[in-house]
Amino acid sequence: MLRHLILLSSCILAFHLVPAQQKPNVIYIYADDLGYGDLSCYGATKIHTPNLDKLAASGIRFTNGHCTSGTCTPSRYALMTGQYPWRKRGTGILPGDAALIVPVDKITLPKVFKQAGYSTGIVGKWHLGLGDSVAKNWNGEIRPGPNDVGFDYSFIFPATADRVPTVFLENRKVLAADPDDPIAVDYTKKIGDDPTGAEHPELLKMKSSEGHNNTIVNGIGRIGYMSGGRRARWVDEELSSTFMFKALQFIEDHRKTPFFLYFALTEPHVPRMPATRFKGASGLGYRGDDILQLDWTIGQLMKYLELSGLKKNTIVIFTSDNGPVLDDGYQDGAVSMLNGHTPAGPMRGGKYSALEGGTRIPFIISWPTHIAPSISNALVSQIDLLASFAHLLGQKVPAGEAPDSEDHLQTFLGQADTEGRRILVEQGLADPTAIVEGNWKYIHPHPGPPLMHAVGIETGNASYPQLYNLKDDIGEKNNLATKYPEKVKELEALLERVTHK
């Protein structure tokens, strides 16, 4: 907090030093598991998010904005590469010791900016793997990683807050690593002496509801085992402010050149363990408290941009990597304290789901000097940011690369009354089963379970075809497949064509 105030006051002093620049700065803020209905600007009434509401009111609030997938790794892969994740094996939810899955020799979103002369940075959750194998040395330099796919600067945690190793990495190296206490990670068997949640549930400050019973760090059972690195392990309550400080520092350091910052927040992903001052603040349990913490963070960031004179020429994009989930494996009160809140808004399904709740998420773009406040119902997807920013910055996408990224710059900037994408494939937990074309949505029959019991979410899987008219039926309640068999056939063929090209 103190340091933040120092940063804020230092940028007040530096206000007059900001050079005029043509190219806009771009900050891409990625929430983790935030649902369409989690923000008051998207209709939430049980929780109030004034800072995001303000951001939305200053720019375009998309009502039909999508990530590509119902989980994190594939959505992030698509964002980075402009390729639908299901085209490449190994893009499902990654363990914390996975190797890097983003190709180092192909165009990426940050490379588009780098080529255009930007300083590029990532702060926050990565979850796209590190190094070239599972067996990597966490005590030396780890490469390849974010710094090898387009980021000049990286301050990340490797996977998710519930997966070991629970450490930060800054530019390839674990922060506060100690050669006398080397870090080892294993996802197959217990290593080291740290107690596990399975053996010692009495040591947990938050119990698991499913899994999450391997190594205990800060009283929270994780997925995977780690030993060593005691000095380097983060404290969960400091995760969010640490990322915020590093993000502000990156901006401060690069304020004189155009910059691209990928700010990947950890809220409201499990384990939800907000800073102490947010605990209890929402009345909806830690999930709600996490959302308030996230909203506060955005408020600080925007205040910082304003005070530093950067706000006008900075494009801020705010969105989420997949739909919402309540009980995602910890007993944190998300279900018992829900109080009538509807995280997916009017949509059916949520995280892991091919229904709209899985991939239709908050999507806000603000650029004070170029975008007039509006609400857009155009179909837009994060996968198109790569090609769209390439257009904005006059960069070429090499032939055959970023194959699924389409240029929708005009739609993203509200420069024309365009409808955005014509076709979008939606992926739930695994297979790409759903396709949207205009107002129609088709979900192909799938043998998976219709309900993911552990999380209480409808997956969209059914043994029969589903056809919905999203214009009249955003909640996907009225299956029109038997009424319009020709439409089913047409969209089934289209899904087949798109996914097998």
Q: How far is the CB of 73 from Ca ion (least distance, A)?
A: 8
Closest residue by Cα to residue 389 from 365, 407, 362: 407
Distance CA 32, CA 215 (A): 23
447 neighbors 461 (Cβ within 8 angstroms): yes
Q: Amino acid identity, residue 292?
A: L
93 binds, among ligand NG6, Ca ion, none (CB under 5 to 8 A by kind): ligand NG6
Mask of contacts with Ca ion, 20-59, x by CB under 5 A? ------------xx--------------------------
| Nearest CB to Ca ion, comparing residues 32 and 384 | 32
End-to-end Cα separation, the chain, in angstroms: 51
Determine, following the binding rule CB under 6 A, whether residue 332 of this chain makes contact with ligand NG6: no
Instruction: Please give the Cα distance from 155 to 120 (Å, whole number).
Output: 12
Question: Is residue 150 a contact point for ligand NG6 (CB under 6 A)?
Answer: no
Residue 211 contact, options ligand NG6, Ca ion, none, Cβ 5-8 Å cut-off depending on partner type: ligand NG6
Six token digits for residue 436:
């949207």
Six token digits for residue 218: 């800060």
Considering only residues 27-56, where is the footprint of ligand NG6 by CB under 6 A? 32-33
How many amino acids of this chain bind ligand NG6 (CB under 6 A)?
17
Site string (61-100) toward ligand NG6, x via CB under 6 A = ----------xx--------------------x-------
Measured in degrees and rounded to the nearest 5, phi and psi for residue 210 equal -155, 135
CB 91, min distance to Ca ion, A: 14
Work out whether 476 is an interface residue with ligand NG6 (CB under 6 A). Answer: no
| Token digits of residue 91 | 């893009």
Q: Pick the closer one to ligand NG6 by CB: 282 or 322.
A: 322
Kindly write out the interface string for residues 65-104 of this chain, putting x where it contacts Ca ion by CB under 5 A and - elsewhere.
-------x--------------------------------
- Judged by CB, which is closer to ligand NG6: 152, or 328? 328
Between 33 and 267, whose beta carbon lies closer to ligand NG6? Answer: 33
CB of 494 to ligand NG6, least distance (A): 27
Binder among 186, 290, 295, 328 for ligand NG6 (CB under 6 A): 328
| Residue 253 in contact with ligand NG6, rule: CB under 6 A | no
Backbone angles phi, psi at 243, to 5 degrees: -60, -40
Tell me: does residue 236 bind ligand NG6 (CB under 6 A): no
Q: How far is the CB of 201 from ligand NG6 (least distance, A)?
A: 16
**Residue of 66, 212, 287, 311 that binds ligand NG6 (CB under 6 A):** 212
Secondary structure (DSSP) of 376-430: E--BEEGGGHHHHHHHHTTPPPPTTSSTT----HHHHTT-S---B-SEEEEB-SS
CA distance 438 to 70: 20
Q: What six digits make up the tokens of 127? A: 């979850």
**DSSP track, 127-176:** -S--SSSSS--TTS---SSGGGTT-SEEEEESS-TTBS--B-EETTEETT
- Kindly identify the residues of this chain, within the stretch 160-189, that bind ligand NG6 according to CB under 6 A: 160, 162
Which residues are CB-contacts of 169 (< 8 A; sequence separation ≥ 6)? Answer: 130, 142, 145, 154, 155, 156, 157, 158, 175
Q: Which partner, Ca ion, ligand NG6, none, binds residue 328 by CB below 5 to 8 Å per kind?
A: ligand NG6
Is 337:444 a contact under the CB 8 Å cutoff? no
- Binding residues for ligand NG6, rule: CB under 6 A, are 32-33, 71-72, 93, 127, 160, 162, 210-212, 223, 269-270, 322, 328-329
